[in-house]
Amino acid sequence: MLGCSGTHLPHQKEGIALLTTEIKPTGELLPAELLEILAARVRVFVVEQACAYQEVDDKDRQAVHVMLRENGQLVAYARIVESADPNAISFGRVLVVKAARGRGLARQLLQATLAEISRRASGKPIKIQAQNYLRGFYAEFGFAATSDVYLEDGIPHVDMLKQ
């Protein structure tokens, strides 16, 4: 099981708005926070991508949620989960809300997610299933493709690994 302790790190982004990073396991989320996360995930992964699938799954029960908030509003999100491989860890459901895209928040979110993984599971390899169009983005963080492209819910994906 992933550890349990919330983190809250404020920082300024370009002097415009207060951006905070919050990290909480599912059991520490307030009901309103959980609803906000699930609404954002459904908006991005089901509605925007026109992909009907079971967005909420059993991994959410033990997940650690990494949230970027701008002036209190969720603008970017990822969840850290255990991997099918017991010697590795994983993350997914990486998103930036539509109104906040194009400002580098995905990089900031990934940096926070990788730092939290390092804190919780130092030394473990990280295995992810990335949408294929993002493979170059993840490669910038040290991930390498380990599979051919395949369809997951009708969307091209690739397995990636960071040692």
Three-state SS at 50 = coil
3-state DSSP call for residue 117?
A: helix
Q: For residue 24, what pLDDT is reported?
A: 97
pLDDT band at 17 (very low <50, low <70, confident <90, very high): confident
Question: How large is the C-alpha radius of gyration of the chain?
Answer: 15
pLDDT at 123: 87
Distance CA 133, CA 144 (A): 14
* Residue the block writes with tokens 């009907």: 52
What would the pLDDT profile of 89-143 be if each residue is shown by its tens digit? Answer: 999 999 999 999 999 999 999 999 999 999 998 889 999 999 999 999 999 999 9
**Residue 12 scores a pLDDT above 60:** no
pLDDT exceeds cutoff 50 at 4: no
- pLDDT at site 16: 59
Rounded CA gap, 92 and 73, in Å? Answer: 20
Q: What is the pLDDT of residue 32?
A: 94
Distance CA 120, CA 4 (A): 10
What is residue 13's predicted lDDT score, i.e. its pLDDT?
44
- The structural domains of the chain, with segments of one domain joined by +, span 7-122, 125-163
Digit-coded pLDDT (tens) for 23-57: 999 999 999 999 999 999 999 988 888 887 778 88
For the segment(s) 7-122, the CATH number from 3.40.630.30, 3.30.43.10, 1.10.3720.10, 3.40.50.2300 is: 3.40.630.30
Upper half-sphere CA count for residue 68 (Cβ side, 13 Å): 27
Checking if the pLDDT of 22 tops 80, the result is: yes
Q: How far is CA 21 from CA 56, 92, 109, 113, in A?
A: 22, 17, 8, 10
